């Protein structure tokens, strides 16, 4: 199977810093040849090895007050630029920690295969931070979504649940060890998170960062919005009325600076 990696970028939240790091991580962890395509609204500052192609056009009103990355619906088009056949989609904010070759040889090339979602352990739902699909296979989902984006978002809440439940021919899931969730599967539980660095689980090839915490937060320690805080500063902040959520939630949201993330998330 031809190794085709894709990602998507819109707006200014991520941009070239994340695109370039993702390319570098892929290049260090894959057996050539491979291609790396970014569908983006701007190629400014992106390294020349990345094939930047325009965002697939969509004419719809973004669902409001609904979780999930619904702009990923662009990936469900009949065509994706110049690409054909199976493609492996990677979120811009993940960290690659192992070889990617098996993501292309696993399962049938015509299958839609997603990472497992550890946030929903009692529901068989995939995680679209990492998923492989043949170009055009998900077009029926796009047609249904575009007919009433808000109704689909209200029913399914997350685009990954919509894909899991409705992909033509059903979905397969990658082996659970391959893709790990940083907050759920790497961070020690409270109070161990105050003393121990997050671990890299054995067999992990990719670590994903949903929920607002980014690799740079893990590198610096602290938490999103207070990255770089030492433990003493974090503990002193527990009485601050302005912190988000309960004191319990605040205390368990502390990350020791994580060296293995720093080693992986670089150009």
**SS3 track for the chain:** CCCEEEEEECCCCCCHHHHHHHHHHHHHCCCCCCEEEEEECCCCCCCCCCEEEECCCCCCCCCCCCCCCHHHHHHHCCCECCECCEEEEECCCCEECCCCCHHHHCCCCCCEEEEECCCCCCCCCEEEEEEEEECCCCHHHHHHHHHCHHHHHHHHCCHHHHHHHHCCCCEEECCCCCEEEHHHHHCCCCCHHHCCCCCCCCCCCEEECCCCCCHHHHHHCECCCCCCCCHHHHHHHHHCCCCCCCHHHHHHCCECCCHHHHHHCCC
Tell me the mean pLDDT in the region 212-234.
Answer: 79
25-39, 88-102, 113-127, 197-211: least confident range: 113-127
Are the C-beta atoms of residues 135 and 80 closer than 8 Å to each other?
A: yes
Global pTM exceeds 0.85:
yes
Tell me the mean pLDDT in the region 218-224.
Answer: 85
Residue 243 has pLDDT above 60, yes or no: no
Instruction: Domain 3-173: give its CATH architecture.
Output: Alpha-Beta Complex (3.90)
pLDDT at 198: 97
Band of pLDDT at residue 95, cut at 50, 70 and 90? very high
Domain coordinates in residue numbering, the chain? 3-173, 179-264
Share of the chain above pLDDT 90, in %: 74
**Assigned token pair, 84:** 């054909």
Cα 122 from Cα 211, distance rounded (Å): 19
Residue 202 has pLDDT above 80, yes or no: yes
pLDDT at 253: 78
Average pLDDT, the chain: 91
The residue with greater pLDDT, 232 or 208, is 208
**Assigned token pair, 260:** 């293995």
Band of pLDDT at residue 169, cut at 50, 70 and 90? very high
Tell me the mean pLDDT in the region 89-112.
Answer: 98
pLDDT at 105: 97
The residue with greater pLDDT, 182 or 249, is 182
Residue 52 has pLDDT above 80, yes or no: yes
Tell me the mean pLDDT in the region 183-193.
Answer: 92
């Amino acid at each position: 199977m031809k190794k085709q990696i894709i990602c998507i970028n819109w707006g200014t939240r991520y941009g070239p810093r994340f695109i370039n790091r993702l390319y570098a991580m892929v290049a260090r962890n894959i057996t050539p040849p491979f291609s790396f395509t970014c569908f983006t609204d701007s190629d400014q500052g992106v390294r020349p090895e990345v094939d930047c192609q325009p965002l697939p056009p969509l004419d719809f009103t973004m669902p409001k007050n609904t979780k999930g990355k619904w702009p990923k619906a662009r990936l469900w088009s009949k065509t994706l630029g110049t690409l054909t056949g199976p493609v492996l989609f990677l979120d811009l904010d993940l960290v690659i920690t192992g070889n990617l070759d098996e993501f292309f040889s696993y399962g049938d090339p015509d299958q839609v295969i997603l990472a497992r979602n550890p946030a929903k352990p009692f529901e068989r739902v995939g995680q679209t931070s990492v998923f492989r699909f043949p170009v055009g296979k998900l077009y029926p989902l796009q047609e249904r979504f575009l007919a009433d984006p808000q109704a689909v978002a209200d029913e399914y809440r997350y685009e990954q649940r919509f894909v899991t439940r409705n992909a033509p021919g059903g979905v397969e899931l990658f082996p659970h060890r391959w893709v790990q969730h940083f907050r759920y599967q790497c961070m020690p539980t409270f109070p161990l998170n105050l003393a121990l660095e997050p671990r890299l689980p054995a067999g992990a090839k990719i670590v994903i960062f949903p929920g607002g915490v980014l690799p740079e937060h893990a590198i610096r320690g602290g938490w999103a919005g207070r990255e770089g805080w030492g433990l003493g500063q974090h503990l002193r902040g527990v009485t601050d009325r302005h912190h988000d959520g309960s004191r319990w939630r605040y205390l368990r949201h502390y990350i020791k600076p994580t060296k293995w993330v720093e080693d992986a998330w670089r150009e």
